[in-house]
Every structure is written in C-alpha cells, then in structure tokens.
Amino acid sequence: MLSLLDNISYIVLILITVFMLLAPFYPMPHVVEKILMLKNGTLKRPIDIFDLFFHLAPLAILILKIIRDSK
C-alpha cells in the first residue's frame, strides 16, 4: 500500500498540499476556519469534520512520503 507513495513525485504532492491547505482562497481557507472551530469547540457537524480531514489528507500523505523516504 505504501509503495504507491513511491510513484508520486514530491513536486506534485507539494503543489496539491499547498492548494488544499489554502483552498478556498477567499474569504478564509477552510483549514484555518476548521482549526478555529476546533479550538472554540464548535467543530461538531460531520460535514465540518470531513472537510477538515479532506483538506489535511494531502499533508498527511506528504508526511508519510517523507517518513518513508527517510528510512
């Protein structure tokens, strides 16, 4: 399963990660909004929780790839 990470280039993965962390660009990125909701204790709706994980998924994949390549 993790061998799929070897097929993804760092450039593509970094571009996707940056785009997903900053999307939507206006008025506020969803990741920032959802983290503020989590801090305030208002992150309760399933769609909001899914949205947070959806926007953080490329970052998690990038971290897994870095860990895998460092070994």
Between the CA of residue 19 and those of 15, 26, 36, 42, 45, what are the distances in Å? 6, 13, 19, 25, 24
Give the separation between CA 27 and CA 21, rounded to whole angstroms: 14
Question: Dihedral, CA atoms, 14, 46, 30, 39, nearest 10 degrees?
Answer: -110
3-61 per-position pLDDT tens digit: 888 888 999 999 999 999 998 888 889 899 999 999 999 999 999 999 999 999 999 99
pLDDT at 1 over 70: no
Q: What is the pTM of this model?
A: 0.85
Query: Tokens 């990741």 appear where?
Result: 31
